[in-house]
Structure 1
């Protein structure tokens, strides 16, 4: 099976793909507001600390697992310990769920790239988004589906057709080629946005607000948790992506260096996004005569409400600025969607011994069909609920379980360290084990307790209990149960007698 496994054409191809997976929508619409709300310039200290003690160490761990075992996430954990296969499938199901709604955000971005050419949203950008474009049901009907919204459905169809074309083409001819085009184009386009943004009137006020350090925040534990949370969710770790991508690496490759490049490239883009976003927010604040803190926003509100308002006010080439911004969102999200889909495509292909084309058809095709649910009038409420719960009790919790399993139960950090050191210029020392075995589990555990307590005390966003129980807790629990169910099927065409424990002895010697 290993001889038939797909492989990246070049090391650069892998790095482009890994960076493309890490750089997503959150880099643009989440990081700037998180940094601002947690100390501004002072936030970069805990952020850098989190990158070096959690982000990059976790990347190294997942790169090593994937490259050494040359398998999907479920098969990799199966090889480490047969009883752990369910953990890999849990991550696969989480990736599948994320793919179903992530594609919808890309559909919005694609539509708004077109709308920006004529500023279709008009003066009331909020009303246009929720009433004219999404046709969202009233809040009291949250949880209902309503009818399909053509404005979302048809762009969504385009997104999935493009994704399927890339995925059907394979790892080298599809994913690698797409990322070699998308990532440089994304950096170029967003670079143009930043240059234009910093030349706008009052841009310096926005940048000052973004970078001005509030050193007193460094004693606030929530700021450090926010830094770890941003790093964790930004780098595409703990739901099978990096294990899958690394499994396509050649048998000799510099694992540690690749992880550092990926981690710092992702963070560099986040910094670039922060500069571009806050320069434009400074301009916006100056135009309406309010302090910058009154226009700061994040997430959907920043992208689809505030930025259209800013575009309306830009004096020169506003339509081009808008097109570049939403096209950047589309490109950043597209590279991530492809990587998310590859997780379950690789796993299904290995588990059932089917061709890649069948795995793409069943996996990505199935995700495409389910994603239509989010193209309904009630899709926004469902999306918001599923996104919150699957990130917290899918990605974050699965990540915590993965780290505890590798470091404390299977005790494989030494074997992984030996393997990474055998082919990397940067050698891993005690710091790597301390980070993964102690620091990261404690911080993730604290994050989970904090979030769980908040979600138990109050319904997320005040949504109806029925929606919380189905799209929230229900989907989160279903991801685990379906993952366990997949373990009941035997691997086809895989030599399951060769385990990681046996093969790792050679490395230890």
Structure 2
């Protein structure tokens, strides 16, 4: 490739759709949605969740599509063109998404290890002890930073090598190719495993537990806030992925129509994954004669502790189902990591005049180096703190600032006319009101509660770590802002 500058344009709107769906399905559909649905009223949770999609996900998604499509630039360049003082906000957004990528690759490294372990049930008879102690060597002691967990480090090298291999290419040969493979494999594995899981004894009990409605939660404000909060991560709102990918579109894209397709496909994926997880947990609950409530867990424990426990009682099918399960997580994540590096690599290319290859190469080297922090004995502890800081504070603040700039500083009617240009579905004045008034209020409430929760549950050491992270999120965007275009 050398130093040849590559033009970035999707071959078609279909390619854009595939890349966006591929980016979104790996973000939190497997990790969080099923847990939130179960804990917040079961099937009833779908009511506030779908309403939140209409009120928040679609409006913000089409806003980001419109901005990228109109300006054909990276988010920092867009904000610079709107008003140079706001460029730092965009650098804050694309940088924090790069940090998400750094620890996301560590989780993928864990999963890569578990694909190998699943071939011989290498997690043993006590998956909890294996995951926390044997594999991660997890500790909150700063001394843990001096110990590198070699298997995780090797996994990180593999993951970052894949990111470089495909991100450096022209988007249709790199991102789009991987997104197609990832999307097809994800749905094939998901449907195949789902058909198998539905035949397991106890599966219906698990599914009924997932969808069992609790209508009283509709009067609980926390359930509604949970639905709105989850959408930010489920659909990558404020991640700059939507604005970056839409900037590669041709002139005839139907942006609003595409947004609805992306959201609906992603919602179906989330629900199907949830059915799969609870069908398998229902099988274990029946086999061990324990309540399914005792199995439900959020995040890492669900994937790397609960399910290895399930697989331990699934002979002889374990050697087929377990590898397929962890492979589903891996392939669902591949297109996501390519999407997470794209906003910053695109912005760096524009800022410094670098080729795509050079920008990606530099970011991969920096990302690999920093990700080794999460491969140490203190890695899981730091990963959880970093994830909490970003999901409860930084990204919500980023989305809030983004819609304030685009809704109040820039002429949002101009964006509305761009969005309505080719789409069958049209935006009326209610979209403008939602962006300018309704969403800032909702996001401010979610952000305040997130900050309160960080302070409330944090000890002195975790608050110190968060302070360091916050300082980095100020220094790096500021440094990138003062460098002229």
The alignment's TM-score, normalised by the length of structure 2, stands at: 0.96
Corresponding residue SS for 1:427: coil
Q: Which moved more, 1:303-312 or 1:327-336?
A: 327-336
Structure 2 distance, partners of 1:250, 1:475, is 38
Shift of 1:80: 2.0
Instruction: Give the conservation status (yes or no) of the 8 Å contact 1:205–1:279.
Output: yes
Shift of 1:75: 0.6
User: Among 472, 480, 493, which residue is 2:474 paired with?
Assistant: 480
Task: Please name the residue that 1:180 is paired with.
Answer: 180
Corresponding residue SS for 1:127: helix
Q: Which moved more, 1:60-69 or 1:388-397?
A: 388-397
Asked if residue 329 in structure 1 is aligned to residue 317 in structure 2, the reply is no
Structure 1 distance, partners of 2:119, 2:131, is 16
Instruction: Give the conservation status (yes or no) of the 8 Å contact 2:186–2:332.
Output: yes
Corresponding residue SS for 1:321: helix
Task: Please name the residue that 1:248 is paired with.
Answer: 248
Instruction: Give the conservation status (yes or no) of the 8 Å contact 1:116–1:322.
Output: yes
Shift of 1:211: 0.5
Task: Please name the residue that 1:99 is paired with.
Answer: 101
Shift of 1:242: 1.1
Shift of 1:172: 1.4
Asked if residue 340 in structure 1 is aligned to residue 335 in structure 2, the reply is no
Superimposed CA distance per residue, residues 150-183 of structure 1 (whole angstroms, 9 cap, x where no aligned partner): 1211111111111110011221111111111111
Structure 1 distance, partners of 2:30, 2:274, is 7
Task: Please name the residue that 1:6 is paired with.
Answer: 8
Structure 2 distance, partners of 1:182, 1:210, is 27
Q: Which moved more, 1:386-395 or 1:267-276?
A: 386-395
Task: Please name the residue that 1:71 is paired with.
Answer: 73
Aligned length: 481
Moved >3 Å (runs of 4+): none
Task: Please name the residue that 1:494 is paired with.
Answer: none
**RMSD, matched Cα:** 1.5
Shift of 1:468: 2.6
Task: Please name the residue that 2:443 is paired with.
Answer: 444
Instruction: Give the conservation status (yes or no) of the 8 Å contact 2:238–2:399.
Output: yes
Task: Please name the residue that 1:267 is paired with.
Answer: 267
Superimposed CA distance per residue, residues 320-367 of structure 1 (whole angstroms, 9 cap, x where no aligned partner): 111111111111222111101111110000000011111011112211
Structure 1 distance, partners of 2:279, 2:349, is 46
Task: Please name the residue that 1:83 is paired with.
Answer: 85
Structure 2 distance, partners of 1:47, 1:142, is 40
User: Among 22, 25, 29, which residue is 2:24 paired with?
Assistant: 22
Residues 1:483 and 1:321: Cα distance change in structure 2 (over 3 Å): same
Instruction: Give the conservation status (yes or no) of the 8 Å contact 2:6–2:170.
Output: no
Task: Please name the residue that 2:212 is paired with.
Answer: 212
Superimposed CA distance per residue, residues 192-218 of structure 1 (whole angstroms, 9 cap, x where no aligned partner): 111111211111111111111100000
Residues 1:4 and 1:359: Cα distance change in structure 2 (over 3 Å): closer
Task: Please name the residue that 1:367 is paired with.
Answer: 367
Structure 1 distance, partners of 2:296, 2:320, is 23
Residues 1:242 and 1:480: Cα distance change in structure 2 (over 3 Å): farther
What aligned pairs does 1:403-418 form with structure 2 within 5 A after superposition?
403-408=403-408, 410-418=409-417
Corresponding residue SS for 1:193: helix
Structure 2 distance, partners of 1:33, 1:63, is 30
Task: Please name the residue that 1:293 is paired with.
Answer: 293
Instruction: Give the conservation status (yes or no) of the 8 Å contact 1:143–1:467.
Output: no
Asked if residue 468 in structure 1 is aligned to residue 463 in structure 2, the reply is yes
Shift of 1:82: 2.0
Instruction: Give the conservation status (yes or no) of the 8 Å contact 2:27–2:236.
Output: no
Shift of 1:316: 4.2
| Gapped regions of structure 1 (runs ≥ 5) | 492-509
User: Among 128, 142, 149, which residue is 1:126 paired with?
Assistant: 128
Structure 1 distance, partners of 2:258, 2:100, is 25
Structure 2 distance, partners of 1:167, 1:411, is 32
Residues 1:127 and 1:25: Cα distance change in structure 2 (over 3 Å): farther
Superimposed CA distance per residue, residues 203-252 of structure 1 (whole angstroms, 9 cap, x where no aligned partner): 11111111111000000000000000111111112121111111111122
Instruction: Give the conservation status (yes or no) of the 8 Å contact 1:393–1:476.
Output: no
Residues 1:379 and 1:278: Cα distance change in structure 2 (over 3 Å): same
Instruction: Give the conservation status (yes or no) of the 8 Å contact 2:96–2:394.
Output: yes
Shift of 1:418: 0.6
Corresponding residue SS for 1:487: helix
Shift of 1:432: 1.5
Corresponding residue SS for 1:26: coil
Structure 1 distance, partners of 2:280, 2:344, is 38
Q: Which moved more, 1:316-325 or 1:413-422?
A: 316-325
Structure 1 distance, partners of 2:456, 2:29, is 30
Shift of 1:424: 1.1
Instruction: Give the conservation status (yes or no) of the 8 Å contact 1:348–1:363.
Output: no
Task: Please name the residue that 1:352 is paired with.
Answer: 352
